[in-house]
């Protein structure tokens, strides 16, 4: 009798184990088949217990999340085109590029770009809101208009890809740029909606040691998307080298330099000035993930994160959101684990 009971219990345990394996397999299949967040140029911030993600897209697409992994679509920031957009960029098609979100004195500032691909008929604007929660009665974007414009043949730089950073005195600076003569840094006024006067400009990174004269063509200096992250005694300048938006032929990758001053010079690990072509590689793509780039960087809850997009080879090179923990080596340089490209899998959650 005891032997029969043991046999029955063993059979039951084996059946439960099989069910557990089947359940695990089913959950894995569901996770793999879940729709991931498809974004270009992601930036992020946190309000209360909710993270918000903004990216390039029609009117600026944005999402909310409670855990930085499951994201709910929240629609568009702009339901209509910015009024000034076509006067600056005649070929503007409604896709607003490369936003950056910045919090200051109770307001959220969302900087953005309008342009035409491969042209520097471009402008950077800013819109402001009291909250990022679309369900709040205080939710309302107020566009403050054009901050900076680039004009072909007049300017040998491109007014796109803005990023805002504060210096040690609380002043705001805007890094920006793409191709042409490289990346620039300009001081903003106290309202953070226009350039400070008198103007203060700095060249912070370029692929060419001696930039040429202003031209209509973007040139071959494949550098863009600056993001400055302050950590300890240094300001770290992240940039994207290479070419985006070419599916499997995309050559985008991330490089970094650092400076003790927000205005530079930003030196790489070998001491080469990024304005003279320097920049230490942080991470490149691999067989599974191409075109890594246009990153942002943040500290949340005691950890540092790198946020970027990458093209998934297995999904016809569709751009996907990646959030990677950023650690620091003994010399104080950022380090990320390429395995996190596979580990981090976002999912799109339907609004409740």
Sign for the CA dihedral angle at 284, 289, 291, 292 comes to negative
Buried b (16+ CB within 10 A) or exposed e, 213-238: ebeeebbebbbbbbbbbeeeebbbbb
Q: Is 181 exposed, middle or buried (0-12, 13-18, 19+ CB in 10 A)?
A: buried
Q: Is 41 annotated as catalytic?
A: yes
Structure tokens at 183: 């990346």
Which residue in the block uniquely carries the two structure tokens 């219990």?
Answer: 9
Measured between alpha carbons, how far is 281 from 165 in angstroms, rounded to an integer?
A: 22
Could you give the CA distance from residue 139 to residue 129 in angstroms, rounded to a whole number?
7
Query: Cβ distance 182 to 206 under 8 Å?
Result: yes
* 224 flagged as catalytic: yes
- Of the residues 100, 161, 221, 224, only one is catalytic, namely 224
Q: Which two tokens stand for residue 281?
A: 């590689």
The answer to whether residues 37 and 63 touch, using CB atoms and an 8 Å cutoff, is: yes
153's tokens: 């043949």
Residues noted as catalytic: 41, 224
């Amino acid at each position: 009798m005891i032997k029969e009971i043991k046999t029955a219990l063993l059979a039951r345990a084996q059946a439960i184990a099989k069910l557990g394996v089947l359940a695990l397999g089913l959950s894995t299949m569901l996770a793999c088949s879940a729709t991931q967040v498809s974004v270009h140029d992601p930036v992020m911030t946190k309000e209360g217990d909710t993270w918000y993600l903004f990216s390039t897209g029609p009117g600026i697409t944005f999402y909310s999340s409670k855990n930085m992994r499951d994201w709910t679509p929240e629609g568009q920031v702009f339901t209509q085109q910015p009024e000034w957009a076509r006067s600056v960029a005649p070929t503007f098609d409604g896709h607003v590029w490369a936003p950056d979100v910045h919090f200051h004195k109770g307001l959220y500032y969302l900087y953005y770009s309008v342009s035409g691909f491969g042209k520097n008929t471009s402008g950077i604007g800013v819109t402001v809101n009291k909250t990022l929660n679309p369900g709040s009665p205080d939710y309302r974007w107020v566009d403050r208009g054009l901050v900076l414009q680039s004009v072909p043949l007049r300017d040998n730089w491109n007014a796109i890809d803005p990023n805002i950073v504060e210096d040690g005195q609380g002043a705001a600076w805007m890094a920006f740029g793409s191709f042409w003569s490289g990346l620039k840094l300009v001081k903003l006024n106290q309202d953070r909606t226009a350039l400070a006067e008198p103007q203060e400009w700095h060249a912070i990174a370029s692929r060419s040691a001696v930039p040429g004269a202003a031209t209509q063509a973007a040139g071959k200096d494949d550098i863009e998307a600056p993001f400055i992250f302050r950590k300890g005694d240094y300001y770290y300048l992240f940039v994207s080298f290479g070419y985006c938006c070419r599916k499997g032929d995309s050559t985008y990758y991330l490089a970094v330099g650092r400076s003790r001053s927000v205005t530079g010079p930003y030196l790489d690990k070998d001491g080469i000035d990024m304005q003279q072509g320097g920049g230490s590689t942080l991470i490149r793509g691999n067989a599974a993930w191409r075109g890594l780039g246009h990153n942002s960087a943040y500290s949340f809850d005691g950890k540092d994160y790198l946020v970027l997009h990458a093209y998934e080879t297995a999904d016809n090179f569709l751009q996907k959101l990646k959030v990677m923990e950023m650690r620091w080596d003994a010399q104080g340089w950022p380090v990320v684990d390429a395995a996190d490209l596979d580990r981090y899998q976002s999912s799109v959650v339907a609004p409740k």
